[in-house]
Every structure is written in structure tokens, then in C-alpha cells.
Structure 1
Amino acid sequence: MDIRSQLREMPHHTMAHWLPIIDCNIKFYGAHSQQVPYGWAMPEESHPGFEMMLIIKGTQESVIHGYTYTVEAGSILLIPPGFKHTNQCVSPEGMMYFSAHFNVDDPVFTLKLMSHHSRIYEAGTTDNMLIRPVLENWMNMIRTSEAYTSTDKFIMQARMFELFALLSQAADREPQPTRTDASPNAPAPAAMHYAGAIAEAIKQAFHTQLRIKEGNVSTVKVEQIISSFGISPGYGLQIFRKVYGQSPRAYLSSLKLQEAKVLIEQPKLSLGEIAWKLGYTHLSHFSRQFKRWTGQSPLQYRNSVQDISNESGPAHQSSGTELE
């Protein structure tokens, strides 16, 4: 049994004192630094994850949901998922910046950050001085030729979780914004509440489905989850998309994809078992969906993972204790 299953099925001991189970997926991508001239500009865009920018030299003007922000050297800008924005260098001497994108499968944390909408951590403030070293550490790890090692990637992930903790603490210290301070396109507090509750309920229902050992195939019914909060499915779909930048079904698909990869990498599990655990009646249905997600069939993905493991050689094989 893999570590994730063991954690989920661990018996409850009334006399024991437990830390919470941590079961989330993160994505860190698009991290780069760049020197740009005066007048450089990015066309309007939005991203499925958060974008964080550190202005190292110069000044940037950002227009986010119709609001204009001036980001000076040393300051950090956080742009939430789904927020349309443009960035432009407005300093005659040009500008240097570092940018990174991230996503984390933690609805409560994501909602906490999004409840304050776009924000600037001004240079010299306490939050800035705590967060900036994490971004600078990533920037210092950028290479132009050598490949990144597993150790490099683990260090990057460690910094990622450090950043999450700092952003969460910073959000806890800030007062909740009033509606008059919020962007006119920002979701209402009630919408934020329902979207967060729906996301958490989908995640919990999916994890419950994974624990089922026998009987009929279990599926997560998004519409039923939304209706359980006393709102219509149509309204639930609308507010979820506005808050998270994707539909509830797309969110569920992202959970399935990450779990599918973990399960496929367990050679003792048949692909049929994996399809059943994920709520698919037939292996062929799961295979088609997995190929749409990744461009590979489950078997091709399993073989590619095995090939990488074999190429690493005995010196790099696991000692038998695995941590996610």
C-alpha cells in the first residue's frame, strides 16, 4: 500500500496526539528574471495560478481589473488567478524583474489570498522583508546551461511552502477589505464563501471516493455538492468560476490527474484498479481521459516513469521508505 493510502486509512487512537494530514498538490512554473527597456509591455492576460513579481530595478505600472498600480523597485506584486492584467515598464532607465507562478490545491489558503485581491508588498515593510528572500533564493538558482538536479527541485519546493506560510501569515494580519475598496469585478464575500466551501467539499468527496475498497464505482457529483449548500447549481458554477478561474469539474479533474499520476507510479496497482478508484466504470474511459490530460496513455506514462527510474541506476534507487 502506498504512503498516501496508509495515511488515509490509519486507525484513530483516542490517546494519541496527531499532526494534521497534509495532502495537497502544488505547481510552480514560469519562474524567470528579465531585464527590459522603457516602454516594454505585456498584453492583457490572465493565469490559472497566482503570479508574484519582484521589481529589482526600475518601476512597473500594472493595470489589474481596471485598477492601476505603480510597483517601485524592491516591491512585490501578487496577482490572483483569473485576474486580467497588463504590465509595463515606465522607468526611463529600464527595469529588471523576477516573476513566478504557482498554484496549490488548498481551497482555504487560496480563498484567503484572493479575498484581499491584488496587493503590493511595499519595499521596506515587514512582509516584504520576509517574502523577498524566498524570491531572491529562486532567482539565484536560475541556470543557463546545467540541468536542475532533484536536490535543486526539492529546495525550490521547500521555498514554496515557506512562501505559502509567509503569505498566509501576512493575510491573517490584514483587515478584510470592504466592498468599496474592492475591485468592481471582484466576487462578493458571499460568493467567496460559497466557492471556498464547494472546493473543499469536492476535495473531501474525492478523497472519500479513494478510500472505498469494494462495491460499485463511486463518483463525485458536483451538482449535488453545490445543491447541498442551498444554492442552485447554475449559481454555484458561476461563482466558482469567478473566484477560482475554472469550473468545479475542471478543479475535480486536476485532483484526479494528480492522484492518477501517484497511483500509476505504484507498479503493484493494475490500471483497472486505478480507473475504478478514480470513479471510471471502464478502463478505456480512464485511458482516454488520461491521454487528453497528458498526451500519453496510462501505460505509456507508467513505462516512461519506469524508464527514468531504471536510468537512475541502483545508487539512486529508493531505500524502501518513500515520502511524498
Structure 2
Amino acid sequence: MDIRSQLREMPHHTLAHWLPIIDCNIKFYGAHSQQVPYGWAMPEESHPGFEIMLIIEGTQESVIHGYTYTVEEGSILLIPPGFKHTNQCVSTEGMTYFSAHFNVDDPVFTLKLMSQHSQIYAAGTVDNRKMRVVLESWMGMINISEAYTSTDKMIMQARMFELFALLSQAADNEPESTTSVAASHAPAPTAMHYAGAIAEAIKQAFHAQLRTKESSISTVKVEQIISSFGISPGYGLQVFRKVYGRSPRAYLSSLKLQEAKVLIEQPELSLGEIAWKLGYTHLSHFSRQFKRWTGQSPLQYRNHHADASGDPVSYRSESSPES
């Protein structure tokens, strides 16, 4: 039973008014600003998360799914996950741009943005002006001489949520002077519906697994989840990859990695207990997978976090869930 359910059973909470439960993981892959000469170009690429670009000076030509678009000075370009694209400076005086990459595991929010396809928020529009404030705040935090503090990182995350709200509002309101990019290559509404439902079901099943008190290992069965919607696993895998640019298992792995980091940073939990919570029969299996994800073993990650925070390392780090 979660904390809200527990509180609802208390007499003095039965008439309370509630805000919604918010449960999502975010990833900020970083951002940079760069001045480039005429002819500068990036080779074709795609990303696991969203890319947002502000053209500060000059003009950029972007090719997304074979369609060519001109992004003028002051405009903002949003490219969703999985969209193959190239960017090139086409202004003779060169170009200055700011680019940031991020992701969020909220399927409803992601689908809302992807249903709008790639977007160009033209300079001077209301939505552009609002988003530019957030992007310029990030730019102002670029630091080349000192390490970023915990406060800096919290501020960056706060700005990210501001950007999420602005992007969501823009998608709801169909903003003025907004150009939809590569619409004909966007997933069909049915595909987006199933992909979103599968993602949400995987997320809910994973969180239920974390809360289980049973003695046996609980695992999230992706094929079973897909079949529960009355579609074949093959079709479910296909539409999920088309919409999100990765497989359902890769999405589940991202949830596990995020949760693993949070749990490992809690010294009172043994690594064996963490492995069990995440659905691994043996600690060695979890350790190998975590090292594939991060390049570090769980114990190395815990020690590094303890050194950075000044917290003592737990002596239970390598104990099993049964001990």
C-alpha cells in the first residue's frame, strides 16, 4: 500500500484535497553552445532522447527524414527521439547555436510531443520567447573553470521542468508560426496509442515489482504485457520501436538503471537486496548488467558516490538478500 492509500484510511485525511502522484525519471544528457563557420555540418544521427536547438546567430539547414527545413536566427528546433537528421550552417557569416539533449520516461508527455513531430518554434512567437528564457538560463550556467555544485544541478533540473511545461502547453495550444517537420513519417495514431499503453504498463509493472514483499523473485514480462492489449508481441515491438526509437526491453533497462542508481546510493541497502528488488536472481547477474550500463560495478558506483557526498560506505554492500 502506498503512502496516499495509508493516509486516506486515517479519519483526519478523508476530506483532504490531493495533488496527483508524480512518478517519472528525467535524464539531462548535457548541453553546449558553439560558434561554427559556413559549411559546418553534423553527419546523420539520431538520439535516444529529445534534442532542442536555439539558433542564436546565423541560419541552419536541417534535414529530418529526408525533408529539408531552414531554421532562422532566433528560432528553436525540437527533434524527438529516434528521428534521423543532419544539421548544417548555411549562413556565410557563420552560425552560433545552443543545443541540449534530454529525456523523460512519462509516456503521455512523450507521445504528446511526438504527435506534433519535430517542431520549429519561430523567432518572435510567444512560445519561442518563453522557451528562450529557459534555454538562455542554461546557457548562462555553462561553466568551463569550476565543477558544478549540487545546487547548480538542481537549478538545471528546475529549468528542465519549466521547459517540459512550456513544450506541453505549446503542443496543447497549437502555437502560432510553428512548423511541423516530417509529418508524413510520424507514427500512425494507432501505433502511438499502443506504444504509449505498453510503455505505461511496463512502468507500472516495474514499480509494482519494486514494492513486492514476496519471497520469490518478481520480473516484468514484456511479451505478456504486450499480449494483454490484444496484439501480437511482434507488432507491439515494432510500434514501440517506431514511436520511441528503442525496444520495450531497452525502455525497461533505462527504468532499472535509474532505480538502481537511487537504491545503490542508500547505504543501508545491501547490493544483494537491490538486485532482488530489480528482479535479478543473483547479485553477480545484476553486477555484470550494471557494469555494462555504467562501466562501473555497483560497489564501485557506491564507493564513488560515498566519496563525493562524504557519506560512509555500508559494510553490507556485498551481502545477499537472504543474509
Same fold (TM over 0.5): yes
For the Cα contact (< 8 Å) 2:117–2:186, is it kept in 1?
A: yes
Q: Bigger shift: 237-246 or 268-277?
A: 268-277
- Which residue matches 2:269? 269
Structure 1: stretches of 5+ with no match in the other structure: 313-324
Deviation for aligned residue 1:209: 0.8
Aligned to 1:184, what secondary structure does the other structure show? helix
- Measured after TM superposition, the shift of residue 311 of structure 1 is 7.7
Map of 2:110 onto structure 1: 110
Instruction: Say yes or no: does 1:278 pair with 2:263.
Output: no
Which amino acid letter does the alignment assign opposite residue 212 of structure 1? T
The amino acid that maps onto 2:151 is: T
Question: What amino acid does structure 2 have at the position aligned with 1:291?
Answer: K
The answer to whether the 8 Å contact 1:50/1:79 transfers is yes
Q: Output the CA distance in 2 between the equivalents of 1:7 and 1:245.
A: 35
CA distance in 1, matches of 2:27, 2:262: 15
Q: Show the counterpart of 1:248.
A: 248
Paired amino acid for 1:86: T
Range with bigger deviation, 148-157 or 9-18 = 9-18
Alignment partners' CA distance in 2, 1:85 and 1:271: 41
SS in 2 for 1:153: helix
Range moving further from structure 2, 227-236 or 22-31? 22-31
Question: Does the CA contact (< 8 Å) of 2:64 and 2:182 recur in 1?
Answer: no
Give the direction of change, closer, same or farther, for the CA distance of 1:71–1:272 in structure 2 (3 Å limit). Answer: same
Letter in 1 for 2:196: G
User: What is the Cα deviation at residue 305 of structure 1?
Assistant: 1.4
How many Å apart are 1:199 and its aligned residue? 0.3
> Which letter maps to 2:8?
H
| % identity of equivalent residues | 84
Shift of 1:309: 1.9
Stretches of 4+ moved more than 6 A in 1? none
| Contact 1:9–1:211 under 8 Å retained in 2 | no
Query: Using a 3 Å threshold, how does the CA distance of structure 1 residues 69 and 182 change in structure 2: closer, same or farther?
Result: closer
Separation in 2, partners of 1:273, 1:94: 55
Taking the aligned partners of 2:122 and 2:239, their CA distance within structure 1 comes to: 31
Query: In the alignment, does 2:88 pair up with 1:122?
Result: no
The yes-or-no answer on 1:44 pairing with 2:40 is no
* Corresponding letter in the other structure for 2:79: I
Residue matched to 2:298: 298
**Correspondence for 1:233:** 233
Q: TM-score, normalised by structure 2?
A: 0.90
Residues 52 and 99 in structure 1, CA contact (< 8 A), matched pair in contact too: yes
Structure 1 stretch 136-145 or stretch 241-250: which is displaced more? 136-145
How many matched pairs? 304
Distance 2:210 2:3 in 1: 12
Q: Is the 8 A contact 1:8 1:211 kept in 2?
A: no
Which whole-Å deviations, capped at 9, do the CAs of 1:179-211 have from their partners, x for residues lacking one? x99533321110011101100000001011111
Q: Which residue of 2 aligns with 1:154?
A: 154
Cα pair 2:50 2:103 within 8 Å, conserved: yes
Alignment partner of 1:200 is 2:196: no
Distance in 2 (alpha carbons) for counterparts of 1:9 and 1:267: 28
